[in-house]
Amino acid sequence: MPKEKTKKQKKSPPKVQAFQSVKGMADILPKDQNWWRMLRQVGFSVSELHDFYFIETPILEPAGLFEAGVGQSTDIVEKQMYSFKTKGGDLVVLRPEGTASVMRSYLEHHLGYFASPLKVFYYGPMFRYEKPQAGRERQFHQWGFEIVGDGDPVYDGQIILAALSFYKALKLKNVKVKINSIGCRVCRPNYRQRLKDYYNNRRDKLCRDCKERYEKNPLRLLDCKEAGCVELRAKAPIILDYLCQNCNNHLKSVLELIEDNGINYEPDPYLVRGLDYYNRTVFEFYIPEVDYALGAGGRYDYLSEILGGRLMPSVGVALGLERIIEAMKIQEIPPHLKAKPKIFFAAVGDKAKKASLKLMQELRESNIAVAEALGKKSLKAQLKSADKQKAPLAMIFGQKEAFESTVIVRDMRSGAQETVVLNRMVEEVKKRLH
């Protein structure tokens, strides 16, 4: 006789914890694949049109790279790096941005011998421990362009144009460039001092963060969003009045170039950027509907020296891909793709199912994308999936067709069907797809 179940045996098994992604880090789901495919398609096409080579650097980098490159007193290095010690004792970080990594790679592999200037692009995830909010994630993706090894303003112009081509290809409207110069080693120290002089007896009116910025990085006092600090800044000296002749000429040339190209720009004397490696031109891209930048960049002539190389004038930009998707949604621009139509393969019966993998492979080898739902038994259920996938054509392969070496081609819009012999299958499909 079976024993009666005890109370203990009846108990349901302990619940398994339902895991969630780490705060501020999102999954990119299949439903969003059109957005990301579009971004990659546009990104590669724009990068190629502008003659940039692809570069991919590791996601983990030595912490010191960003401490030196981006700057000890920046928000990124002070507060936002995901860092940890490896088992071997090295301090590494999840990269918070791509520019310092590209320069590290440039110096490590002497990429100046490959091309001069070197024009490279990259894309991938970046990591910053920030407070997640609209337009701000802890893992986000950038598409970056860098031109390493030339100080000519024509390259500042090229970088701005590459970024604008990206937005234009996506059909984003009213993208504006905010632009400024933050001077160089010659003129910036003088301006920095003027700024400190101005704020010196107004320090008690600054917000807490700005009190610290006053000591460590006074230029950043200018881009604080706190009302009190914004009010104070109205009478602060602006750098444009302190630029040396060379920086002045450089800025003038960049502005002439972007004017010649009909670019919608706005000089912004308060734009200083949050990374220390910049000098001269800095810029950010905006649309009117949101107050965060869709992309940003500038010149970083001294970064190579900071990382142990020789002086290597350079300029670059990085575009925030999640922010671009958001901006497109706000402007009601759907993802546009030159997606290949895929055909749907339905098979019923064991013999047909067995043979169908080979037939699908034949189609795929002829560059025809094939979808299927072979796990579903009935033809009706399989064709329902074909409808859902919006396939223009379905191939129907049953026992009879398998026996006769034929297949039915069905136009999913009109419902018209035709039987074709298997050894003409690829030609017949191609004929109907074009």
Quick check: 271 binds ligand HAM (CB under 6 A)?
no
128 is in an annotated binding site: yes
Q: How far is the CB of 285 from ligand HAM (least distance, A)?
A: 7
Among 47, 57, 99, 385, which residue sits at the site for ligand HAM (rule: CB under 6 A)? 99
Query: In this structure, are residues 417 and 410 in contact, taking their beta carbons and an 8 Å threshold?
Result: yes
Minimum CB distance to ligand HAM smaller for 46 or for 318:
318
CA-based nearest residue to 97, from 84, 108, 82, 119 = 82
Quick check: 223 binds ligand HAM (CB under 6 A)?
no
Q: How far apart are CA 81 and CA 77, in angstroms?
A: 6
Quick check: 239 binds ligand HAM (CB under 6 A)?
no
146 is in an annotated binding site: yes
Q: How far apart are CA 46 and CA 165, in angstroms?
A: 7
Quick check: 295 binds ligand HAM (CB under 6 A)?
yes
**CA-based max dimension of the chain:** 101
Among 43, 151, 153, 320, which residue sits at the site for ligand HAM (rule: CB under 6 A)? 320
Query: In this structure, are residues 281 and 184 in contact, taking their beta carbons and an 8 Å threshold?
Result: no
Quick check: 429 binds ligand HAM (CB under 6 A)?
no
Quick check: 282 binds ligand HAM (CB under 6 A)?
no
Quick check: 176 binds ligand HAM (CB under 6 A)?
no
- The HSE-up count of residue 209 (CA atoms within 13 Å, CB side) is 15
Q: How far is the CB of 313 from ligand HAM (least distance, A)?
A: 12
Quick check: 105 binds ligand HAM (CB under 6 A)?
no
Minimum CB distance to ligand HAM smaller for 55 or for 318:
318
Q: Which is it for the CA torsion 99, 104, 107, 110, positive or negative?
A: negative
Quick check: 47 binds ligand HAM (CB under 6 A)?
no
Among 47, 142, 356, 385, which residue sits at the site for ligand HAM (rule: CB under 6 A)? 142
Quick check: 313 binds ligand HAM (CB under 6 A)?
no
322 is in an annotated binding site: no
What distances in angstroms separate CA 210 from CA 4, 184, 232, 426, one per listed residue? Answer: 73, 23, 11, 68
401 is in an annotated binding site: no
Q: How far apart are CA 92 and CA 76, in angstroms?
A: 15
Among 188, 323, 342, 410, which residue sits at the site for ligand HAM (rule: CB under 6 A)? 323
**Packing angle, helices 425-433 and 350-365, rounded to 10:** 60
Quick check: 117 binds ligand HAM (CB under 6 A)?
no
Q: Which residue is nearest to ligand HAM (CB)?
A: 320
Minimum CB distance to ligand HAM smaller for 281 or for 385:
281
Stretch that binds ligand HAM, among 127-135, 194-202, 208-216, 326-334 (CB under 6 A): 127-135
Quick check: 140 binds ligand HAM (CB under 6 A)?
yes
Q: How far apart are CA 425 and CA 419, in angstroms?
A: 10
Q: How far apart are CA 271 and CA 176, in angstroms?
A: 14
Among 130, 152, 209, 223, which residue sits at the site for ligand HAM (rule: CB under 6 A)? 130
Among 61, 67, 75, 137, which residue sits at the site for ligand HAM (rule: CB under 6 A)? 137
CA-based nearest residue to 159, from 138, 134, 179 = 179
Distance linking the first and last C-alpha atoms of the chain: 71
For residue 276, what is the enclosing H or E element?
none
Give the binding site for ligand HAM (CB under 6 A). 97-99, 128, 130, 135-137, 140, 142, 144, 146, 293-298, 300, 316-318, 320, 322-323
